Structure 1
Amino acid sequence: MRTPSAFVILAGTCLVLSLAGAEALLVNVLDVRYWRCVFKKTSQCPDDDIKFFLYTRNSMYREMVDVARPASLKYSSWDPDHKNVIIIHGFNGTESKVPMTFIRNAYLVHGGYNVFTVEWASLTRFPCYLSALSNTKLVAQCSAQLYSFLTAHGALATKIHCVGHSLGAHICGMMSGYLSHKQHKIIGLDPARPLVRRYGSEEFRLTRDDAHVVQVIHTNAGALGEVSQVGHVDFCVNGGRFQPGCRGHRLRRARCSHFQSACYFAQTVMPDRRFLGVPCSAGCPATGRSVGRLPGRAMPMGEDTPDGASGMYCVTIRHNNDCPFD
């Protein structure tokens, strides 16, 4: 009995979805609208699909920032004396859901920050990874416009840093290509690996040349996250590949571990919470005998890392919970 090729493909799709524990997505996969990926062909900012929001402790609501309106900041709760952080989500993410909200809320609890978030969810929907990768260039260009908007209103470059997760980390790096001066600080949370290194030049991925201070936190290196040392200072957490508390099949563990970088970083922003790394000789992921401790002092990871720090540090964080954890 001959099996139609379409049935074979459908059966294979069903098997993959079942193995991934995502049987509920089958209806979407069979819907042609599910595959309508958006490839941005424009290079003009502002763009309606890229939005900026401001959160402060002085306002109960998020405020949209319109860089085309010079008075947008003047009539907002923006405090020119505070530091500024720009938070950029990654693939299939959004600024209004976890884990990016953990980072946002941690800065609000910390105090002394104007928290800006970049929303580009409509350009990075699952399963459209290739189009999302292509769209990072425009998101970086428009986010650089937000950065320039802040400096034009008196914000010092040393009081602005960009925090990006996954593809968002690369967007932070790409922003410098659209600025007249290099950014002061970038914190890359498990920068995305799939297809980035193979198809993207250094211009389109995060490197230590993108800011005076580039810190990277690895939690799923070699799978969804970049490997080895990317920034001036890198932290390889729990070996860098899989995180404790992330359970299930391999893809589920990888995705969970990838997002855990945002949760670890958010914890460092909170008052009185520090994770210390020790100098180590291994790359990331670091396993078995390849891990060797080097002479030197322990280094705090995340928000309290000194700007002049450099090298690779291995961090051990013991917990049993998925993101978020106690």
Structure 2
Amino acid sequence: MWNSLDFRYWRCVLKRTTMCPDPDIKFFLYTSDSRPGKQVDLRSHSSLRYAGWDPGKKNVIVIHGFNGTESKTPMSFIRQGYTSRGDYNVFTVDWEPLTKFPCYLSALSNTRLVAQCSAQLYSHLTEHGALAKNTHCVGHSLGAHICGMMSNHLSSKQYKIIGLDPARPLIDRYSSSEFRLTRDDAHFVQVIHTNAGALGEEAQVGHVDFCVNGGSYQPGCTGHRLRQARCSHFQSACYFAATISEERQHLGIPCSTSCPKRGRSLGLRPGPSVPMGEDTPDNASGTYCVTIRRSMDCPFS
């Protein structure tokens, strides 16, 4: 009985099914030639072609986090960054009905189904000729953990995952490695920390981790403490989006592994700088500190 019913309490939706596709989880394809995005139906062998998929381009799967949607900020900044380049097929995962405020507990549970269905999207692409090395997953907050959890449903490891301030509440204490992003989920995992220790994970999660402006609270975020945390949490997506389309790189300097940085010391270490984001070398490793000006912040409301 539980496998066929959803439990709806107030506005919360708790999925009890393990069946994909699911009507509350949608996939859209954006290209440099298509606006708005076109929905992809994995049950149809011709859906990719009709949506405008170019098998000669690279692919990115973008997954939003708690209380988010694929169509609004900050995820739209990432999508626009990739489409402006012209060399990417941009797939977005929209699971908005399953992750609405204040339903964080049910959203946590729903990440398992979202990961399962998103893994089907990944497999659908590779079955139609996409190369694993040319396909990566970018996730913000809970979306970062979904990128990692997709690996539970794939026969071959993903090539690259980029986690944008992976969500921390409850996950840091109660989730096993199977249900969170770890460096074992892909050949290369990059993580960008902007609210570590509050809404974002503070431990070194990936092969390479970037602590931006100390990694905790971003200088352009004001208001009460929760508002500052939410704003800082979102900035990870905005900072990453800036690395996709801009020619100027945001360089990280080797530093100590703790994130966030406390006090005035960043624990800087000798070694070459590494660009953060889209241009990060796939062989990079360790923790790096990045300083970004307040003018680079994106709008938050």
TM-score by length of 1: 0.87
Residue 283 (structure 1) aligned with residue 242 (structure 2): no
What is the identity percentage for the equivalent residue pairs of Structure 1 and Structure 2? 73
| AA in 1 matched with 2:260 | P
Give the counterpart of 2:141 among 166, 190, 197: 166
CA distance in 2, matches of 1:291, 1:48: 46
Kindly indicate which of the two structures has a greater share of residues assigned to strand. 2
| AA in 1 matched with 2:45 | P
Task: Identify the residue that residue 51 of structure 1 maps to in structure 2.
Answer: 26
Is residue 49–residue 123 contact of structure 1 (8 Å, CA) maintained in 2? yes
Q: Which runs of 4+ in 1 moved over 4 A?
A: none
Residue 301 (structure 1) aligned with residue 292 (structure 2): no
Q: Which runs of 5+ in 2 are unaligned?
A: 1-7
| AA in 2 matched with 1:205 | R
Is residue 204–residue 257 contact of structure 2 (8 Å, CA) maintained in 1? no
CA distance in 1, matches of 2:257, 2:282: 22
CA distance in 2, matches of 1:324, 1:314: 23
CA distance in 2, matches of 1:163, 1:170: 10
Residue 136 (structure 1) aligned with residue 100 (structure 2): no
- Pair 1:282–1:199, CA change in 2 (3 A): closer
Structure 1 residue 289: Cα displacement: 5.4
- 1:7-156 mapped onto 2 (5 Å cutoff): 35-156=10-131
Task: Identify the residue that residue 204 of structure 1 maps to in structure 2.
Answer: 179
Structure 1 residue 159: Cα displacement: 0.5
Equivalences, count: 293
Give the counterpart of 1:176 among 139, 145, 151: 151
- Pair 1:307–1:257, CA change in 2 (3 A): same
CA distance in 2, matches of 1:99, 1:172: 17
Q: State the secondary structure of the residue aligned to 1:73.
A: helix
- 1:171-320 mapped onto 2 (5 Å cutoff): 171-288=146-263, 291-320=266-295
Structure 1 residue 74: Cα displacement: 2.1
Is residue 82–residue 90 contact of structure 2 (8 Å, CA) maintained in 1? yes
Task: Identify the residue that residue 24 of structure 1 maps to in structure 2.
Answer: none
Is residue 173–residue 207 contact of structure 1 (8 Å, CA) maintained in 2? yes
Is residue 193–residue 215 contact of structure 2 (8 Å, CA) maintained in 1? yes
CA distance in 1, matches of 2:154, 2:89: 21
TM-score by length of 2: 0.95
Is residue 282–residue 291 contact of structure 1 (8 Å, CA) maintained in 2? no
Is residue 235–residue 314 contact of structure 1 (8 Å, CA) maintained in 2? yes
Structure 1 residue 273: Cα displacement: 2.8
Is residue 139–residue 171 contact of structure 1 (8 Å, CA) maintained in 2? yes
Is residue 282–residue 290 contact of structure 1 (8 Å, CA) maintained in 2? no
Q: State the secondary structure of the residue aligned to 1:257.
A: helix
Is residue 257–residue 286 contact of structure 2 (8 Å, CA) maintained in 1? no
Q: State the secondary structure of the residue aligned to 1:303.
A: coil
Structure 1 residue 60: Cα displacement: 3.0
